[in-house]
Structure 1
Amino acid sequence: MGADTYLKTIEDTIKNGRFKDNWDSLSGFEAPSWYEKAKFGIFIHWGVYSVPAFKSEWYPRNMYIQDSEEYKHHLAVYGEHKDFGYKDFIPMFKAEKFNADEWAALFRQAGAKYIMPVAEHHDGFQMYKSGISPFNAYEMGPKRDLIGEMKEAFEKQDMTFCVSSHRAEHWFFLSHGKEFDSDIKEPLVRGDFYWPSMPEPDHHDLYGSPPNQTYLEDWLIRCCELVDQYQPKVFYFDWWIQTEAFKPYLKKFAAYYYNRAMEWGEEVAINYKHDAFHFGTAVPDIERGQFAELKPYFWQTDTAVAKNSWCYTPNNDYKTSNEIIRDLVDIVSKNGSLLLNVGPKADGSIPDEDKQILLEIGQWLKVNGEAVYDSTFWRIFGEGPTEIEEGQFTDGKSKVFTSEDIRFTVKGGTLYATLLVYPENGVVAIKALKEKSIHFQGIIEEINVLGFDEKPAWERTEEALIIQTRHVQSSAPVVFSIKIN
């Protein structure tokens, strides 16, 4: 389908659908019930940048910045940029060990309910069969529809399929290659891998050179093509779409996507950052961070198993599974969901470190998942002395929780209290459940500790609900299920 025809299809769908391309109409969006219940998903950063696997997925940009570590590495390993540029990694991206069914089995074992591969990163290489540009995984590199294979495998395992697009930043992502003798040269035309490589914004100017109509229409069509071909249930956007030039096109995309979902009879959502979307028209996402307090609206954190990179590198600085589990519990208690990223190798295999972390999370969720899945927030999210630093990019430092840090969720007639760090002496004090508490004045009928045979002793005092165990020991969070009346 040509660009003009696709744009007309988009306009016709908006014209004839319930959702129009304005914020008033899009405010009719409601977060999907399946999404609010899922709580835990897997993000996947995998692409041509996984071939050099140096520093991070921003290698394609940084390799063209003179005197950067990536630039020096590229010269030392691959030679002059005019002779071997980023495009020359594409034939090396073969995905020869990629097996979507194996990935699906692993992610299911990890306890994930939804999976979100990056369909196109800033580098502009499409991981799927596309009619827009030949620079896609079906025509080059692996010569396979990688996104299509993932969708089929994940849905067979009853996991919800989603996609992410980071295309917006491609406007400037490779622009530094024009500053010296590299393989990025004018003329660059629509459909070229390096097109358009325009001047990059600095930290004080989000715009740089605002995207032109041709680029914005191309961006819109790429997004709608993903919707039409793969029917994702969540569509995630990275940053830079919040800039003014994108606003009319964001509204068109949202209206198109929501209307198409109504045709399918499905509940879908869009993830956004930085107020790119009007509040209430999509689901807000916090990159590598979280909220300090409970929110009345559903939200998501996206973070990675590694602190330093979203993609695979041999030197990734990994978090521990217990760190991630504690963050998951904290996020869910505040009405959020955790999207956890892994970075496969270029050959399609998932690193052993990523696997181990996922399996350990899955083992914990197998025992304690009833406090997470299908749960909702309580009157307060929790208690304890440890303060969560709010905002983006705050997950670089490990949080030091104590045995007084407790998080609450509720499902039906059960209140769950999760001890982020279990006390060595087995004595737990939950202040929010004390006698005559302003938060809870009901009747506690029974208390159990998930995953342990021991029946805990307990009593309510004027200071706290005191729970005593003798044999419970765990380096991971411990969950009490409290039957209430």
Structure 2
Amino acid sequence: MKNMLLTVCLLAGFAVHAQEEHPYVKEKDPLVLQKLEEWQDWKFGLMMHWGTYSQWGIVESWSLCPEDEGWTHRKPEGIPYCEYVQKYEALANTFNPVKFDPARWAAAARKAGMRYMVFTTKHHDGFNMFDTKQSAYRITAPNVPFSKDPRADVTKEVFNAFRHEGIHIGAYFSKPDWNVDSYWWPYFPPKDRNVNYEISKYPDRWKQFQQFTYNQIEELMTGYGKVDILWLDGGWVRPLDMHTKESLGWNKTPAQDQDINMPAITSMARKHQPGLIVVDRSVHGPYENYRTPEQQIPEKPLDYPWETCMTMAGSWSYVPNDRYKPVNRIIHNLVDIVAKGGNYLLNIGPGPDGAWHDEAYRKLDSIGQWMEINGDAIYGTRSVAPYKDGKVCFSQKKNGTIYAIYLLDEGEALPPVIRFSGITPAGGAKMELLGVNGKVSWKKAGEAVEVKLPASALKKNLKYAVAIKIK
């Protein structure tokens, strides 16, 4: 009875702890702090989800997960689960992305103004897009047709191509691995996204998984050149005492202590890559150097480093005839995020042949034309109160220069006068409209500021947004 009472008390204490929001833990390593400061200057990045699943045009990995959620449905429906898994894993036998052209991707990203990238080296399904020695389920395995191509180690090719364009490198890596038998042991069927055996009963198997993960990350940190960000996904893999109310909802079975040993992984990774930013996504603690709201933009500035990761189209992975967001919305998202002090990580999913949709290139080209004129209002800025007033967003350089960025609706003509409140320039302050020659005058109008734009600006077909520099 005493032991039962103690267990109940411990579980009750854990439940209370799990519902508390873990505060942001500031990094102490000076090299990492310096890199984080630089990262917050980059503002705009590219993400790519790519794997064998692109051949079916389905959601990445999740159809393997035996949970009844909207994003885990299997297509075609009605196939028994075990048969589906076999068919899914057999996709490796036909994966041959012969149109793979990372140099074109990197050039398009650079022209769009992207300063960093994050590439999926391995997603939850466990298929490795790099030449790992820890698993045969990889793109360089003999059974994969593309393994005969000299560019078979696509992670290396991607990293080198983007690095050549001056773009900083981020390695996405899934902590859970649904293909390795030290995480999903074939002896038991998987019940949900989590480890499918009792860790306390089989601790040696879990230690094997810890070592497997450590070894794979070390391969990425030692064999793929300079890496700036280690972007870890699969936040349900975490110590038991680090769970939150949200993460407990990811368990159909009782939560387990899925401690992957982040202290050892981080120490090793930074030994090889000094100053490495580590993002242990959603695990609020010392190894989450910045936070990553997914497919959403916070309502107000956050008091810690953050990045909105969002799809350019409707899906993270390749879907035939996917619908892409209008350029106007993408740029408005970027301005909104920057005004709130965040970074924007925009995802494009390559297709099964290794090519992007043509639409992705067109969007990036239009974004790049806008950034070429207005990038000064984006890069190297921080949030400044009140960050937004109606259709005007604000950003501030470290030297105190402020930008007022007016968001143009689709098809809206540039108004001759832009009005905003919340930012009051000092008397005699000079203003200019980025990309336009001509005098910009302004005056106070009660609590507001009225900015009169030059006639030359009204004759131009300016789109998306315009930035007023307040010196």
Superposed CA deviations along residues 25-55 of structure 1, whole A, max 9, x for unmatched, are 964352513312111110011110111113x
The within-5 A match list for 1:88-237 is 88-139=90-141, 140-143=144-147, 144-168=152-176, 170-171=177-178, 189=181, 199-201=190-192, 209=197, 212-230=206-224, 231-237=226-232
Quote the offset at 1:323 in angstroms. Answer: 0.9
Select 1:258's aligned residue among 256, 270, 274.
270
Match of 1:142, SS?
Answer: helix
Equivalent residue number for residue 89 of structure 2: 87
CA distance in 1, matches of 2:88, 2:67: 9
Equivalent residue number for residue 243 of structure 2: none
Superposed CA deviations along residues 86-121 of structure 1, whole A, max 9, x for unmatched, are 122112211100122112111111111111110001
- 1:240 has 2:231 as partner: no
Q: Please, which moves more after superposition, 335-344 or 136-145?
A: 136-145
CA distance in 2, matches of 1:298, 1:329: 16
- 100 and 72 in structure 1: CA distance in 2 versus 1, 3 angstrom threshold: closer
Match of 1:57, SS?
Answer: coil
Match of 1:286, SS?
Answer: coil
Match of 1:284, SS?
Answer: coil
Question: What is the TM-score with the length of structure 1 in the denominator?
Answer: 0.75
CA distance in 2, matches of 1:67, 1:279: 32
CA distance in 2, matches of 1:217, 1:320: 44
Quote the offset at 1:24 in angstroms. Answer: 9.3
Equivalent residue number for residue 9 of structure 2: none
Quote the offset at 1:464 in angstroms. Answer: 1.2
Q: Please, which moves more after superposition, 93-102 or 30-39?
A: 30-39
How many residues get paired? 408
What is the one-letter code of the residue matched to 1:215?
Answer: F
Equivalent residue number for residue 399 of structure 1: none
Q: Please, which moves more after superposition, 370-379 or 419-428?
A: 419-428
Match of 1:125, SS?
Answer: coil
Question: What is the TM-score with the length of structure 2 in the denominator?
Answer: 0.77
- 268 and 247 in structure 1: CA distance in 2 versus 1, 3 angstrom threshold: same
What is the one-letter code of the residue matched to 2:421?
Answer: K
Equivalent residue number for residue 398 of structure 1: none
Select 1:288's aligned residue among 288, 295, 312.
295
Whether contact under 8 Å (1:456, 1:467) holds in the other structure is: yes
Quote the offset at 1:253 in angstroms. Answer: 1.3
Quote the offset at 1:365 in angstroms. Answer: 0.8
Whether contact under 8 Å (2:443, 2:450) holds in the other structure is: yes
Superposed CA deviations along residues 290-349 of structure 1, whole A, max 9, x for unmatched, are 222223322111111023x10110142321121111111111122211111001111111
- 1:429 has 2:411 as partner: no
Superposed CA deviations along residues 332-376 of structure 1, whole A, max 9, x for unmatched, are 122211111001111111111222222221111111101111222
- 1:445 has 2:429 as partner: yes
RMSD of aligned alpha carbons? 3.3
Superposed CA deviations along residues 244-299 of structure 1, whole A, max 9, x for unmatched, are 3344512221222223223xxxx32012332x141585111111122222233221
Superposed CA deviations along residues 403-461 of structure 1, whole A, max 9, x for unmatched, are x3423332525211111236743321121234xxxxx6x34531111122343332123
Whether contact under 8 Å (1:306, 1:318) holds in the other structure is: yes
Equivalent residue number for residue 417 of structure 1: 404
Whether contact under 8 Å (2:96, 2:353) holds in the other structure is: yes
Equivalent residue number for residue 40 of structure 2: 36
- 57 and 160 in structure 1: CA distance in 2 versus 1, 3 angstrom threshold: same
CA distance in 2, matches of 1:129, 1:427: 57
- 1:361 has 2:367 as partner: yes
Identical residues among aligned pairs (%): 24
Q: Which runs of 5+ in 1 are unaligned?
A: 1-22, 175-187, 385-403, 435-439
- 67 and 330 in structure 1: CA distance in 2 versus 1, 3 angstrom threshold: closer
CA distance in 2, matches of 1:68, 1:156: 36
Superposed CA deviations along residues 59-80 of structure 1, whole A, max 9, x for unmatched, are 641699899995452779xx99
